[in-house]
Structure 1
Amino acid sequence: QPLKSVDLVSKKEVKAIKERADVCAVPAASIIGEAVVALEIAAAFREKFGGDSLEEVKKNYLNYMDYVKGK
C-alpha cells in the first residue's frame, strides 16, 4: 500500500511510488542460516553427549575429551 506523499512541484497530495524496501535479503538470510546451523550443531552435540541433564552432558563431553587426549 503506497503511503501518502506530496508532489514538491505541484504541492498536491499524491501517493508515493510503491517500491520494495528490502533491497538485499542476504544479511537477513545469513542470520537465519546461522541460527539453523547452530540448532543442527546443538542437536548433533546432544546426540553424541546426550543425557538427562546439562551436568550429565557436560560430564560425558569431558570424559570424551579425556578419551581423545589419551589416544
Structure 2
Amino acid sequence: MNITEIQGYAYFFLTLFLTIGLYAYIYHLYKNKKDEAGVDYEEYSNMALKDDIVDTPVKSISDEKEK
C-alpha cells in the first residue's frame, strides 16, 4: 500500500463523514424549527418576498399591554 492509496481512502472517508455531518445538521435544523420560547422563525423567511407596503405583517403587534 503506497501513499497514493492512503490518500484516496482518506479522501473518500473524509467526504463520506462530511456528507453525513451535513445531512445530520440539516435534519437537526428542520426537526427543531421552534426555539426554546416556542417562536418559529421560519415564518420570518417570507419577509424578503412579501415586503410591499400593502402586504400583511408577518406577526401582528397589539397596542394593548399584556397583563
TM-score, normalised relative to structure 1: 0.42
Task: Point out the structure with the larger helix share.
Answer: 1
Larger radius of gyration: 1
Task: Point out the structure with the larger strand share.
Answer: 1
TM-score, normalised relative to structure 2: 0.44
